[in-house]
Amino acid sequence: MYVNFIKRILDFTLALTFFLLLTPVFLGLYFYLALTTEEPVFFKQLRPGKNGELFYIKKFRTMNEKRDLKNELLSDEERLTRVGKILRKYSLDEIPQLLNVINGDMSLVGPRPLLPEYLPLYTKYQNKRHEVRPGITGWAQVNGRNAITWETRLDLDVWYVQHISFFLDIRILFMTLLKVFNNNDVASPTHATMEKFTGSKM
């Protein structure tokens, strides 16, 4: 009952409340980015949601679109802006995703929505992460975030799907707040963002 009914009600109610409370921050960041960057304020990208259905995730833009002489995008490290580093440090770039939760594309807690190109790379076990709505935060995010391997991250996602409960969600939300304030595990050990998933080696 919690997964199929109560969780969605709580998601909508809490996301709407958080968004209203954060409206001054949201508007401040929006106008600041609009005045200081040439690219669109919002970063929108297709991501697979529940049952693999695609939707557009929304985030504040943290990287520019600079390219090399071959017209290929520079690395994430080179494109990450100074303001973007601050937004990521305190997870402020995630605020627009509250709109995704309100719309029903996402949940406050669940496996993070990854790239559509990863879908054919998952094992049958790993693909279980799509049995629930993706989340702004999740079990993998509070247990290592970008600092853990892909296999561990996907295992944690599936573990969450198999053990989902109200009290687990509350625990994850509380742990997320601690992670944000302590600024832990934002980047992987070798990249500014997580390396691309190329499939499990097992």
Report residue 188's pLDDT band, with 50, 70 and 90 as the boundaries: very low
Reported as a single tens digit per residue, the pLDDT across 55-104 is 999 999 998 888 887 778 787 788 888 888 889 888 899 999 999 999 99
Looking at the whole model, is its pTM more than 0.75? yes
Domain range list for the chain: 2-182
Q: Which residue has the higher pLDDT, 192 or 19?
A: 19
Report residue 189's pLDDT band, with 50, 70 and 90 as the boundaries: very low
Q: Are 189 and 113 in contact (CB under 8 A)?
A: no
Q: What pLDDT sits at residue 117? A: 96
Q: To 5 degrees, how large is the angle CA 20–CA 25–CA 29? A: 130
